[in-house]
């Protein structure tokens, strides 16, 4: 019996090792009694084939289970059918909508999506260009944030014909000619800050994302613009670095709270940092928005069910994805897509994490556990 088992194992191993049997166009042609070009035509332009021949070929295809070899087809056509999408990490809620948009168009147009995460290895534009040149992909969409490129790229500055589009992301001036689709981050941040000013806040903190990311630096500039435009002026102490991370935002919040005159409102460069900021505020027995108002950026899927629901800047993510992809496909087809950024509309969605300064607690939707309010912050001037 041990012997039988042994034999069976050998048999299974053989089976597993056997190459997957593949039918080529030749066999179909032979069975259908036609030439390989006719089979090819049946697949690619069936209207140019006589009905009876078509039927015969289709029968042969069904009989053999033939499926065209994509490797050969793509090789022959000189196209990979692949779009490389570069992002920091799969699993960040913000990209959900953008990817849905990209995928929708991709599916429509017969492309597949290649994912490249930059979380591990730093993104290098040259690498992506090389991948297009070496036909690993037909084009590149860069969503990576923060800091899309650590070094300036020879390709990017010299060779305009490599199809690359940025989604959401800004880029340093030297690479400013790379086309992008995004919101006007500076303006959106300007408006969000203005909203806090209108609520009567005077000490407004800002938690910046990664300093190396132009995207979040633009949001910082928008915030500074608004402060400058107000009577209050800029105060460098109110700008802290949240480092585009949960831990960084918590640190930044603590830093803001340690100021002699801590802010009564905090604008965070994205929702995730806003979430971390609120967490840290609560830890310090401050309520949101009674003690401190908080504004985020992105409106990710969790913004509406945070406690309190987050006031934040909405980006039309799916639209960004779609337009980025369409613009890239234009470039791939050889059209001139220019280099000007394509802007999409943002808007501020007001929920319950913001309130007028010195509002009495309980005036807004009073959700769940509000903590002791009077404690630590009498010196609100």
Partner DNA sequence: TTGTAAGCGTTATCAG
Partner DNA sequence: CTGATAACGCTTACAA
Give dist(CA 83, CA 323) in Å, integer. 14
| Smallest distance from DNA to CB 61, Å | 10
Give dist(CA 308, CA 352) in Å, integer. 6
Q: Tell me: does residue 75 bind a copy of itself (CB under 8 A).
A: yes
Which one of the spans 63-71, 93-101, 136-144, 368-376 is the region binding DNA (CB under 7 A)? Answer: 63-71
| Smallest distance from DNA to CB 211, Å | 41
Give dist(CA 237, CA 203) in Å, integer. 10
- DSSP for residue 204: E
Sheet holding 311-314, edge to edge: 239-241, 204-208, 265-268, 293-298, 311-314, 347-349
Give dist(CA 87, CA 89) in Å, integer. 6
279: enclosing H helix or E strand: helix 271-283
- The 10-39 contact track toward DNA, x by CB under 7 A, reads ------------x-xxx------xxxxxx-
Contacts of 113 (CB under 8 A, 6+ apart): 82, 83, 85, 99, 102, 103, 106
Site for a copy of itself in 191-220 (CB under 8 A): none
Residue 201: name the closest of 303, 289, 310 by CA. 289
| Smallest distance from DNA to CB 367, Å | 58
331: enclosing H helix or E strand: helix 317-332
The answer, yes or no, to whether the previous bond of 308 is cis (omega within 30 of 0) is yes
37 touches which of DNA, a copy of itself, none (CB within 5 to 8 A by kind)? Answer: DNA
Q: Tell me: does residue 122 bind a copy of itself (CB under 8 A).
A: no
91 touches which of DNA, a copy of itself, none (CB within 5 to 8 A by kind)? Answer: a copy of itself
Site for a copy of itself in 268-307 (CB under 8 A): 275-276, 278-279, 281-283, 285-288, 301-302, 305-307
| Smallest distance from a copy of itself to CB 268, Å | 13
Give dist(CA 186, CA 49) in Å, integer. 58
Number of other CB atoms surrounding residue 104 within 10 Å: 14
Q: Tell me: does residue 40 bind DNA (CB under 7 A).
A: yes
The backbone torsions φ and ψ at residue 183, rounded to the nearest 5 degrees and listed phi first, read: -85, 165
Closer Cβ to a copy of itself, 282 or 377, answer by number: 282
- CA 341 remoteness from chain centre: 17
Q: Tell me: does residue 119 bind a copy of itself (CB under 8 A).
A: yes
Which one of the spans 48-56, 104-112, 202-210, 247-255 is the region binding DNA (CB under 7 A)? Answer: 48-56
- The 325-354 contact track toward a copy of itself, x by CB under 8 A, reads ------x--xxx------------------
Site for DNA in 76-115 (CB under 7 A): 76-78
- The 10-29 contact track toward a copy of itself, x by CB under 8 A, reads --xx-xxxxxx-x-------
Chain residues in the site for DNA (CB under 7 A): 22, 24-26, 33-38, 40-41, 43-44, 48-50, 52-54, 66, 68-69, 72-73, 75-78
């Amino acid at each position: 019996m041990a012997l039988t088992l042994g034999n069976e194992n050998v048999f299974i191993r053989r089976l597993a090792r056997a190459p997957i049997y593949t039918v080529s166009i030749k066999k179909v042609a032979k069975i259908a009694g036609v030439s390989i070009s006719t089979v090819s035509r049946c697949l690619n332009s069936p209207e140019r084939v006589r009905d009876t021949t078509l039927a015969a070929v289709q029968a042969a295809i069904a009989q053999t289970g033939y499926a065209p070899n994509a490797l050969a087809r793509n090789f022959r056509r000189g196209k990979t059918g692949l779009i490389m999408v570069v992002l920091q990490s799969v699993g960040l809620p913000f990209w959900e909508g953008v990817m849905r948009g990209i995928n929708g168009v991709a599916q429509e147009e017969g492309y597949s999506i290649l994912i490249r995460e930059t979380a591990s290895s730093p993104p290098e534009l040259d690498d992506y260009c090389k991948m297009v040149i070496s036909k690993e992909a037909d084009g590149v969409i860069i969503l990576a944030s923060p800091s899309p490129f650590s070094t300036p790229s020879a390709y990017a500055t010299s060779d305009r014909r490599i199809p690359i589009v940025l989604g959401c992301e800004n880029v340093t001036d030297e690479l400013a000619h790379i086309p992008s689709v995004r919101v006007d981050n500076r303006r959106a941040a300007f408006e969000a800050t203005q909203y806090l000013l209108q609520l009567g806040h005077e000490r407004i903190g800002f938690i910046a994302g990664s300093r190396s990311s132009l995207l979040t630096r633009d949001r910082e500039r928008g915030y500074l613009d608004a402060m400058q435009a107000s009577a209050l002026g800029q105060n460098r102490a109110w700008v802290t670095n949240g480092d585009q991370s949960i831990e960084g935002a918590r640190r930044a919040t603590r830093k803001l709270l340690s100021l002699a005159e801590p802010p009564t409102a905090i604008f965070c460069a994205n929702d995730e940092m806003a979430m971390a900021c609120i967490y840290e505020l609560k830890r310090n027995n401050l309520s949101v928005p009674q003690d401190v108002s908080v504004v985020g950026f992105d409106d990710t899927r969790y913004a509406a069910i945070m406690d309190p629901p987050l006031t934040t800047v909405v980006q039309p993510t799916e639209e960004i994805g779609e337009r980025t992809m369409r613009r890239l496909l234009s470039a791939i087809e050889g059209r001139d897509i220019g280099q000007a950024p394509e802007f999409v509309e943002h808007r501020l969605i007001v929920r319950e994490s913001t309130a007028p300064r010195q509002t009495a607690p309980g005036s807004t939707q009073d959700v769940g556990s509000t903590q002791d309010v009077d404690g630590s912050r009498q010196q609100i001037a």
